[in-house]
Amino acid sequence: AHRLQILREMATIYDIDGTPLASTFASVDPADADLAPGPDALADAATRAVREQKKLFGRDFDLLYGKLVVRNETVGYSSVGLPSSFIFAAESTTRVQLGVLFAIATAAVLLVGWLIARSITNPVTKLVAAANAVTAGDLLARCGVRGRDEIGVLGEAFDAMTERLQRQHLSTIKALTSAIDARDPYTMGHSLRVGQLAVELGIELGLSASQIQHLEIGGYLHDIGKIGVRDAVLLKPGALTPEEREAIERHPQIGLDILEHVDLAPDVIEFVGGHHEKLNGSGYPSHLHEPQISMVPRIAAVADIYDALTTDRPYRPGMSIVRAFEILHVEAAEGKLDERVVRALERVSLRWERRLQTESALQGFKLPGSGEPKAA
């Protein structure tokens, strides 16, 4: 019965000849032949630890032999044994545990690496996106990257550079606009007003910041083609002949020709070329129809007409705001102007007229119906 005992672990002591002297199995006779080590086990155990697999009492065991040394003298041997099934189970469990730990450690390393990479790539991606936007003509683009590291310093410098570039760009265009408008004292300030009124309309109609910026620049440049119109025609106080009218109506195309080699946003080009187009095809120079006319030239047409109606010209004084809106609504009803833009202008008109009265940046033009330049 003792041979059938379910054993878990065992320890045995042998004399110098390998005879079992004692064992942790109390019910097992130490002299039992099953406990005797293999013929080569003790010889090898004299120099190193030896592992031996053998069957004991009907079960497979793994035994590890080693020397017993007392006062530097080998007096015998000892062995420690565990059931092979227990070792295999422990090995399997350990393998699973190590696999889980390795998977967790690998995931943690990957997560940390991803977070570090993201902390580096996200700012770089923002910088690249902002640079691409500026290259495409959006001078309002900012990366918004800030920090004490090199990338943060670079982001802050980039935004400062683009902000300065935007100011210089607008200042240059305003200077050119002033030179154009100076040819005709009756239209002095017209391009600046059209550009900034277009901005008001763009905001009211919910356009993007980029489109609003392009509306402003387009308004400033929309009459640049008048450089190519003779003074005798441009400044004529009376009615124009058909030939003179044709010369005037070429100024949008002349403007497009002038700006052809300037890298401007498409919205700006559409403003310059389309501010006299009408939705029913009666405009000029290309006689475009409604599906071909985007929101930018629709806003341009309304802003340009409103400012032309409400300011003094050589052939008539500026109209009242009420009369100007009557004409705009008639043209919208005839399918020439976009009714949405006209209604948006009505909503902003009071704010706009107050701005004309108070903003010193818009000085030098004639107030609606006044016949006199605006006081500084």
Three-state DSSP class for residue 281: coil
Positions marked catalytic: 226
What separation in angstroms does the CA of 47 have from each of 43, 74, 215?
8, 11, 93
In angstroms and rounded to an integer, the radius of gyration of the C-alpha atoms of the chain is 47
The one-letter amino acid code at 5 reads Q
Structure tokens at 374: 């605006």
Of 50, 55, 53, the closest CA to residue 32 belongs to 55
The one-letter amino acid code at 11 reads A
Four-CA torsion 269, 274, 279, 281, nearest 10 degrees:
-120
| 186, 366 contact by CB (below 8 A) | yes
- Tell me how far apart the alpha carbons of residues 134 and 142 are, in angstroms, rounded to a whole number: 9
Beta bridge partners of 366: 373
Four-CA torsion 7, 8, 13, 14, nearest 10 degrees:
60
